[in-house]
Amino acid sequence: MAIAAKTNGIPLAPNVGLRMTLTSRSGHGSANRLGNGSAGGGLITLGETIECGGNTGGMPTPELNPHVPARYDTAAVDLASVDGVLSTTRSVRLRLDLEREVPHDVVLDCIDVAEQGPGGGNQASRRWLLIRDPAQRQAIGDMYNSIVGAFMKRGRDATAGTGHPMEQVMKSAFHLAEHLAEVPVIVIPCVWGVHDDSGKPGLFDSVLQSAWSFCLAARARGLATAWTTAILNKEDELRDVLGIPEGVTPVALLPLAYAKGTEFGSVPRRRANEIAYVDGWGLTWEARGDESAARSLGEGPGATVEVDIDAPAERVWEIVSDINAGADFSEEFLRAEWAPGYDGPAAGAKFIGHNQHPAIGEWNIDLTVTEYEPNVLFGWATGETEEVAGARWRYEIDVLHGQRCRLRHTVRIGPGESGLTMAITAMPDKEPRILSRRQDEHLANMTRCVEGIKALAEGGA
């Protein structure tokens, strides 16, 4: 088979040959489909030598696009503007201006920017369907509404006026289902190729980034988009309506319109130091420094364990708000009881924990409930406050679709004194090792706890 030899997207000069051998890490030959269904992907056996002789051709190299900046100097970047686009581009539904026309050249400008994104094998395999014809928009709108309209309406009606976290989402989602046909432009990003169900996302690696870049470019120009994929449940019907050929895969449907208003805001999200794990899954640092590879207690080491549970948040809350929730599962925590004057969980309530460790035996510790939001959050710390705590613990419950939830269990070590600080004081040269071992111990016990809680919640005991 022939493979076009290129350097940075530019075909090599005529009569310049290329010889390469595909090998696996293990050195054993095996079949691998290039791009996992991406354009031009054929079945190649690892270990096979592929001859790419001169004059093999290749994609013609287009001229530089005058609608796209030819150079970008990071030293002169307006970081606030760039971050503003990145942090405020999300699905917009209620603020889509259905009356204002969207100029065609503006849409093309957004595509020109999006096409600068990466693609597998540097192949230009993306294609963009722009639906402006009212009859076609109506057909797509009817199709979309038939898939999700009834569900969205039930969700809107069930959550209206309840303050439920999904109330606004369901309201805006149903609004889009009702009015999709009225959106000035419907954009459907596609890619040449059909996924081969190998479990590897090679095909989509060549299109999804560019589709999102399109949304970013639109936001920067005052336009709004909403990322939807429900229409793909009727892909065959969509192909018939739009004439999409076999061998091409649509990946999303993006309603495009000018936004009502020009200001957009960011939304609350977990901080990076809570969801970024360093050098191992679940290992967190509140204020990790760059000065030294040796870790210290002052950097706020911690651990995080999460598990999805097939039970509603209320059921999980019943378990985690019990101060003895982990006693049956942890190898360190033995039991707890409420301190005199307290008889149940509430912000500021105090209790006493009983623990054991092979290195130091058994001990008791005073604890305070520092965070308490029913069905959402239960946190506690050693001592009186988080500011002086030797450790801060937390259970968080994220509601998922379908009477399911995700339980998140975290610990942050320090900044106050504890048995750990005594060990570090006695052996300061071993501080990184002591911290690493303690993080691993916490991860192991916390994993036992959340898996045990999951079993209890799903079992209904």
Task: State how beta strands 254-258 and 185-192 pair.
Answer: antiparallel
Name the β-bridge partners of 227. none
Q: Which parts of 133-287 are beta strand (E)?
A: 185-192, 223-225, 248-250, 254-258, 283-285
Report DSSP state, residue 204.
G
Whether 391 contacts 411, CB under 8 Å? yes
- Model confidence, pTM: 0.79
* Tens digit of each residue's pLDDT (9 = 90 or more) over 108-162: 999 999 999 887 776 778 999 999 999 999 999 999 999 999 998 999 999 999 8
* Tens digit of each residue's pLDDT (9 = 90 or more) over 196-214: 766 666 677 778 999 999 9
Report DSSP state, residue 39.
T
Query: In the prediction, which pLDDT does 58 show?
Result: 61
| Range in 24-28, 36-40, 400-404 with the lowest mean pLDDT | 24-28
**Environment class of residue 405 by beta-carbon count within 10 Å: exposed (0-12), middle (13-18) or buried (19+)?**
buried
Query: In the prediction, which pLDDT does 461 show?
Result: 58
Which range has the top average pLDDT, 190-194, 263-267, 274-278, 382-386?
274-278
CA distance 218 to 197: 32
Whether 39 contacts 192, CB under 8 Å? yes
Query: In the prediction, which pLDDT does 254 show?
Result: 98
Whether 365 contacts 353, CB under 8 Å? yes
Residue 212: what are its φ and ψ, rounded to 5°? -70, -35
Whether 397 contacts 308, CB under 8 Å? no
CA distance 386 to 280: 26
Q: What is the mean pLDDT of the chain?
A: 85
Q: Which parts of 151-207 are beta strand (E)?
A: 185-192
Q: Give all domains of the chain, ordered by start, each with its CATH number.
A: 6-52 (no CATH), 78-258 (3.40.109.10), 272-459 (3.30.530.20)
Whether 38 contacts 203, CB under 8 Å? yes
The alpha carbon of 277 is separated from its chain's Cα centroid by a whole number of angstroms, namely: 14
- Residue 200: name the closest of 438, 32, 54 by CA: 32
